[in-house]
């Protein structure tokens, strides 16, 4: 592989722009090609973020031998078909979260990647921040004792637009898939797979969950409490509570630059500034894995993606929520 890792992007939208911005902070990374089925969008993206090639079909980008890895950032409901194309073309894939809209489709991607021996990772960027690694180290070192509870929320207010990605069921809209995956992935990172899942949601006029809350219980009695919303602005904070202390993550906890470690009444603020916009860390992780010949990532392994998808399916079943093309 060349010294420069050449990225191809499928679906050059708002999130892809953040990823392209993040690539600028990654040594040895370059945006090389963009594929869009919307006339003019790829050209506009390249003018803004750089790159060499614009393709009007995803297949054409995947046929380009110079593409070293593919970032997929199309709407949720298209992740499955787009990722399958890339995997079958032998291209390493970083697929935006959620990997798909359900566990069955995620399993299909995971099994395909493992069968074809091609790299695949769900783009849960928050796990790769330096301060998230510090949190994992603090917990492993017993700084807050045994983790007993976790809390996290992610909600914002977006005016109702039935055609928007956030509110359109056909595009995988709703709070759970858009932002609920953040606290759910956070809980899985901390506590593993819940033994009990209880949730409630407000299903709006367009058939998506506009706001939702969930309580998870784990085999040793640990609890996790989360919420998400696309019609309600929430505090967007998180806490990890142990037998000997706790860790507080302030607003926008999923891209942490500081945390507070509490032991009794004693508080220690821990600050870790970072370069880039945060998307650079997941890109760097993929590049390191691919260059080392690894087929999945240790921080965001494929089994975690399967477990998270299964947990979200359990919630959706309670709410009577299903997406087009999802097995019934």
Catalytic residue numbers read 97
CB 176 within 8 A of CB 201: yes
Contacts with 305 (C-beta within 8 Å, 6 or more apart), sequence order: 99, 106, 110, 122
328: helix, strand or coil: coil
Kindly give the pairing relationship between strand 209-217 and strand 223-229: antiparallel
Q: How many Cβ atoms sit within 10 Å of the Cβ of residue 207?
A: 17
- In the DSSP assignment, the letter for residue 223 is E
**Helices 302-319 and 103-116: angle between axes, nearest 10 degrees:** 160
Task: Give the integer Cα–Cα distance in Å for 284 and 261.
Answer: 28
Which residue spans within 41-109 are E strands per DSSP? 53-55, 69-72, 93-96
**Beta bridge partner(s), residue 31:** 7
Render the burial of 3-33: b for 16+ CB within 10 Å, e for the rest: eebbbbbbbbbebbbebbbbbbbbeebbbbb
- In the DSSP assignment, the letter for residue 294 is -
Task: Give the integer Cα–Cα distance in Å for 188 and 102.
Answer: 17
């Amino acid at each position: 592989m060349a010294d420069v890792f050449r990225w191809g992007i499928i679906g050059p939208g708002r999130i892809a722009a953040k990823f392209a911005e993040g690539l600028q902070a990654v040594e040895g990374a370059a945006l090389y090609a963009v594929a869009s089925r919307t006339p003019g969008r790829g050209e506009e993206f390249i003018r803004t973020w750089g790159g060499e090639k614009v393709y009007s079909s995803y297949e054409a980008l995947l046929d380009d031998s110079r593409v070293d890895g593919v970032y997929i950032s199309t709407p949720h409901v298209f992740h499955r078909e787009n990722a399958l194309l890339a995997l079958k073309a032998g291209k390493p894939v970083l697929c935006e979260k959620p990997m798909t809209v359900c566990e069955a489709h995620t399993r299909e991607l995971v099994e395909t990647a493992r069968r074809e021996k091609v790299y695949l990772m769900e783009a849960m960027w928050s796990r790769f921040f330096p301060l998230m690694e510090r949190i994992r180290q603090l917990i492993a070192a017993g700084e807050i004792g045994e983790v007993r509870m976790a809390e996290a929320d992610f909600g914002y207010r977006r005016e109702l637009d039935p055609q928007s990605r956030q509110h359109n069921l056909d595009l995988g809209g709703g709070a759970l898939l858009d932002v609920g995956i953040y606290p759910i992935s956070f809980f899985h990172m901390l506590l593993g797979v819940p033994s009990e899942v209880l949730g409630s949601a407000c299903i709006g006029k367009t058939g998506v969950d506009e706001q939702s809350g969930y309580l998870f219980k784990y085999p040793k009695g640990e609890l996790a409490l989360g919420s998400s919303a696309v019609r309600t602005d929430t505090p967007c904070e998180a806490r990890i509570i142990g037998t000997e202390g706790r860790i507080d993550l302030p607003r926008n906890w999923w891209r942490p630059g500081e945390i507070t470690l509490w032991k009794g009444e004693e508080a220690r603020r821990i600050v870790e500034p970072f370069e880039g916009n945060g998307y650079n860390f997941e890109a760097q992780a993929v590049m390191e894995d691919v260059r080392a010949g690894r087929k999945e990532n240790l921080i965001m392994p494929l089994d975690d993606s399967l477990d998270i998808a299964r947990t979200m399916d359990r919630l959706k079943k309670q709410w009577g929520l299903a997406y087009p093309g999802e097995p019934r």
